[in-house]
Chain A
Amino acid sequence: MIRKGTLLIFTVGTCLIFIFQLISLQLFNSDYSELSENNAIEKRPVYPNRGLIYDRNGVLLVANQPVYDLMVVPENIEAFDTLELINGLAISKDELLTQLKKAKQFSYKLPSVIIRQVSKENRAMFQEKMWKYPGFYFQKKLVRDYVVPIASNLLGYTSEVNPSEVSAKNNYALGEMIGRQGIEKSYENSLRGTKGATFYQKDRFNRIIGPYQDGVYDTEPESSEDITLTIDALLQQYGEALLQNKRGGIVAIEPSTGEVLALVTAPSYNPNVLVGRQRSENFSHLVNDTVAKPLFDRALQAEYSPGSPFKTLNALIGLQENIITSNTRFQCNQGHYYAKNAFMKCHCAMGSSNDLIKGIYNSCNTYFAKTYLGLIQKAPTPGEGLDRWRVHLEKFGLGNYLGYDLPIGKKGFIPNSSYYDRWYPKGRWGGTTIISNAIGQGEILTTPIQMANFTATIANRGYFIKPHFKKSFSQKEKDSLFSKNYTLVEPRHFETVIEGMHQVVEKGTARIARIKDIEVCGKTGTVENFIRLNNKKTQLTDHSIFVAFAPKDNPKIAITVFIENGYWGGRWAAPIASLMIEQYLTKTVKRKWLENKMLEGSLMDEYAKPLSGKPFVINE
């Protein structure tokens, strides 16, 4: 019986063992199913082309351009002409050999990059010789193309995501591009679109052998969104030209909409240097320039004392708080004693008697010092007076972020009572202590875009719309995002101040800013500034500031120009602002002599002074 049954027992026993093993592999072990999906199916992302960027008039600013990486699959390489390859593609022999070695170490069967972003010319020359180089091929990739090389500061740039970003954000993979700074960062999601996926069947060497299941699991990429900016490309370009060889910023806003027409910072850089093979080298040059700081957006990030343009705000607050009326007059004798032994100088002639309008167009320090003193002293305590004043300024968008749609900015600074209480405890401060605030010096700090914004508020006679850079919002979005932010100053008070600003250009400190047939309103500023040089507070040549809007009625443009160490307001800032206004409103500039003077003028010698290590003279 045992003899007859042996084979049968073995057969049935084997059958049971096999079925048992099949049960354990197929029914109770999900590991194997997942493993299969990992090693046999590859999910490859499909990218929509990154969204294009246009200016407000439909001029294409940023497009995409193909670049080509030279790839290699080591197992397919045959003997090739090394010399021709290294000459044709401008690569050193060592580099080629290192890259080839790396590629082989990575995989014989999978492609590796040999040369990133081969130039168009080299590729065109080399393309027809490619048949001589089996194993090598060009792979297309899209990078940014700055068609009009302007506005690098506000456009930002793109680069590959780094590993920490990949782990922090769940929808990015290594090698993908991400927007950095500016519009590229703010509107990353719109510009990027949503990537799709294609599933491929792989073989055991990880090579793709075809679509998986004829693509039933594939997802289409969602196309990216093109963005239209509020920027006027011509104006932006003109502004950048005017600021060459100077340091500073220009911000131009359309008051009625809050749309930013130009945002210039100088020095800047050509956005195309941050594309292509030299990207990282160029980037470190920009980062390491700690003197000129080309990556520092002066229009958004530089906090300066606002200087005299700030007087217009104090005037408005004074009017609203009934400290002064449009007819109030103050005496000025080349300045005045605001306290015992404390004299504030002014350039008014001896014995001047200024009303508000004259106070503005002559930029009379005395007038606004007295107004400001009134503001502080009329209140029950100086602290309450100061805080009341601060609330007014906050309504003009000062002392905090404006909330525009770019990722960088500064708050600026408007002091409040507790700030001074810390410096002068037990109420040991009063209006005279902080008198510098009256004329936009002292503790106040504003950024150029904040100044442009309050200029737009004056132009609008009492409200502003949050400045922004993207134009292509739907009406619904516009209504919710861009409501009118009213100040606490009644509209009627604005007319006096605006008339004063008009007179600044007509017969005051900025007559150079006059434009034929256009009523320009403006206010110059000349800001004292100090740096710490060899541990000593050192005064530098004054900054040149001009804020303006035009036309006087129904304003189309409000502008701030800030030129570092530009001597005085009327010397650089006012002419540049005036040229910008003329350019924007008439599309041509007739005052060629002024234009040439501004374009060719340079302040580089001025900037070199504190670095020279020798004693220097300021405001010469």
Chain B
Amino acid sequence: MNNKLVFRLDWMSIMLYIILVVFGMINIYSTRFSDSTLAFWDLGSPVGKQFWIFVLCLSSLPIVLFIKSNFFEHLSYFFYGLSIVSLIGLFVFGQTISGATSWYLIGGFSLQPSEFAKITTTMVIASNLSSIQTDIKKKNHLFRILFLIALPMLLIILQPDAGSAIVFMGLFFVLIREGLDLRVLYLFIALMVIFTLTLLFGPIFISAGGLLVLFFIYLLIKRAAPKTKKLPFLISFGICVLFSYSVNFIFNSVFEQRHRDRFNVILGLETDTRGIGYNINQSKIAIGSGGFLGKGFLNGTQTKGDFVPEQDTDYIFSTIGEEWGFIGSSLLVILFTILISRIIYRAEKHTSTYSRVFSHGFASILFIHFFVNIGMTLGLVPTVGIPLPFISNGGSSLLAFSFMLFIYLNFDANRLNE
């Protein structure tokens, strides 16, 4: 079965990758389009940089593919360490751009180590989980893993770049997949629901509602299993009430106003369209004005008017929504879904834990970006500044995601050699 590598490659993912990057460049070109726009291959223009980085990525694809798979596995901790050092180094040599010290400036190019930390952290988690001794059900093992995730997160939060740090939460899905207690998942979901509802309706309502819901669940279960105890339900209720009130407290006393504003706008508690809700509102206007077919390439009036901020990076989806309409934007959503699903599907085929965890981790991180970024432009998720993978303008992001994809491709192609 030692067929040529070419035939074993996941061509579907490669095609999706190329489509996404090219589509991304088209839209970056559109957001920056004006009479004085340079040719798309000109390094001086934003799309030019993106183009040449794409060329660089494609030309490095064969190299990454020919590297032996266990090279990555063996050097996981080395790369991770390198990442941590580069993150720490930022505090000394870093370049501050719009308030966050997240970049190294090397020969005219700015490099964002946090983008690469995503790869190395996924690698180190994969390495850890694939070790025979590791049992995620053991608390000290779990804490070790959580520490490995938390360390780069903390360094990134200190930059401060909370958005990029949130991405690491995606690795939560990996832990669930690899045997983390499922109750954590349920608790997480329950807390998210309580959190949202508390902000919407206040803790008193949540306490009363929680009591009612739990009481009915208790009655239902009691009918099926008469020996069910009341205590767990009472404890759950206690946690529910406590959490609800603490959310209320944290939200009103610990959060700064700008944080509160972001949630309030999303939950529709604030409708100030010129002030705090401005970005989201403009983004929704741009997308909504696209209609079914969109206004066409370079014809987005909202895009041209720069109404939406960060339009080539974080808010690029609003340009897509405006210029390509429902057809274009829903197709993009579907393409992302297919790509992520495909990676999850292929990941499950691995016999090697390392490869599986890495691939799954890649899918998780892609998902978090996809969920937060598009969710934000659609006004469904609070404003968090992270790019849309493969699409948004930004060399580090494209490089990091490309390499992560290539490593996934490498593992996938060499699955049967493991």
**Is this pair of chains taken from one and the same complex?**
yes
Interface residues of A (CB under 8 A from B): 2-4, 6-8, 10-12, 14-15, 17-19, 21-23, 25-27, 29, 31-33, 35-37, 39-41, 201-204, 209-210, 212-213
* Closest chain B residue to A213, Cβ basis: B299
Does B32 reach chain A (CB closer than 8 Å)?
no
B333 and A7: CB pair below 8 A? Answer: no
In the assembled complex, the CB of B16 is this many whole angstroms from the nearest CB of chain A, namely 14
B337 and A12: CB pair below 8 A? Answer: yes
Does B84 reach chain A (CB closer than 8 Å)?
no
A36 and B333: CB pair below 8 A? Answer: no
Known: A11-B340, A11-B344, A19-B333. A31 touches B288 (CB 8 A): yes
A6 and B291: CB pair below 8 A? Answer: no
A21 and B330: CB pair below 8 A? Answer: no
Complex CA gap A3/B181 in Å reads 10
With beta carbons under 8 angstroms apart, the residue of A7, A33, A204, A210 that contacts B367 is: A7
Complex CA gap A4/B289 in Å reads 39
With beta carbons under 8 angstroms apart, the residue of B185, B282, B348 that contacts A204 is: B282
Complex CA gap A202/B178 in Å reads 53
A41 and B182: CB pair below 8 A? Answer: no
Question: B322-353 vs A: 1/0 string, CB under 8 Å?
Answer: 10011001100110110011001000100000
Q: 5 tightest CB-CB pairs across the interface, nearest first?
A: A32-B288, A36-B289, A40-B301, A15-B337, A25-B288
> Which of B51-59, B98-106, B232-240, B303-311 contacts its partner?
B303-311
Known: A6-B176, A36-B301. A22 touches B326 (CB 8 A): yes
B290: chain A residues within 8 A (beta carbon): 26
A204 and B344: CB pair below 8 A? Answer: no
B287 and A26: CB pair below 8 A? Answer: yes
B364 and A18: CB pair below 8 A? Answer: no
Does B363 reach chain A (CB closer than 8 Å)?
yes
A contacts with B: majority SS: helix
B364 and A203: CB pair below 8 A? Answer: no
A15 and B334: CB pair below 8 A? Answer: yes
Number of residue pairs A-B, CB distance < 8 angstroms: 135
- 29 A-B pairs within 8 Å (CB atoms) are namely A6-B173, A6-B185, A7-B173, A7-B176, A7-B360, A8-B341, A12-B341, A14-B370, A15-B336, A17-B380, A18-B375, A21-B378, A21-B380, A22-B330, A22-B378, A23-B326, A23-B330, A25-B284, A25-B287, A25-B378, A32-B287, A32-B288, A32-B289, A35-B288, A36-B288, A36-B301, A39-B307, A201-B304, A204-B306
A41: chain B residues within 8 A (beta carbon): 301
Does B256 reach chain A (CB closer than 8 Å)?
no
B367 and A14: CB pair below 8 A? Answer: yes
* Closest chain A residue to B303, Cβ basis: A40
* Closest chain B residue to A38, Cβ basis: B285
A27 and B378: CB pair below 8 A? Answer: no
B378: chain A residues within 8 A (beta carbon): 18, 21-22, 25
Known: A11-B367, A22-B287, A33-B291. A3 touches B177 (CB 8 A): yes
B364 and A35: CB pair below 8 A? Answer: no
B288 and A26: CB pair below 8 A? Answer: yes
B289 and A35: CB pair below 8 A? Answer: yes
Known: A7-B344, A18-B330, A26-B292. 6 other contacts (CB 8 A): A2-B182, A8-B344, A11-B341, A18-B333, A23-B330, A33-B288
Complex CA gap A12/B344 in Å reads 12
Complex CA gap A203/B337 in Å reads 34
Does B179 reach chain A (CB closer than 8 Å)?
yes
B284: chain A residues within 8 A (beta carbon): 25, 32
* Closest chain A residue to B308, Cβ basis: A204
B286: chain A residues within 8 A (beta carbon): 36
B46: chain A residues within 8 A (beta carbon): none
Chain B, range 370-386, C-beta contacts under 8 Å to A: 370-371, 374-375, 378-380
Complex CA gap A36/B367 in Å reads 30
Does B76 reach chain A (CB closer than 8 Å)?
no
B305 and A203: CB pair below 8 A? Answer: yes
A210: chain B residues within 8 A (beta carbon): 34-35, 304
Question: B175-200 vs A: 1/0 string, CB under 8 Å?
Answer: 01111001001000000000000000
B173: chain A residues within 8 A (beta carbon): 6-7, 10
* Closest chain A residue to B293, Cβ basis: A26
Complex CA gap A19/B177 in Å reads 27
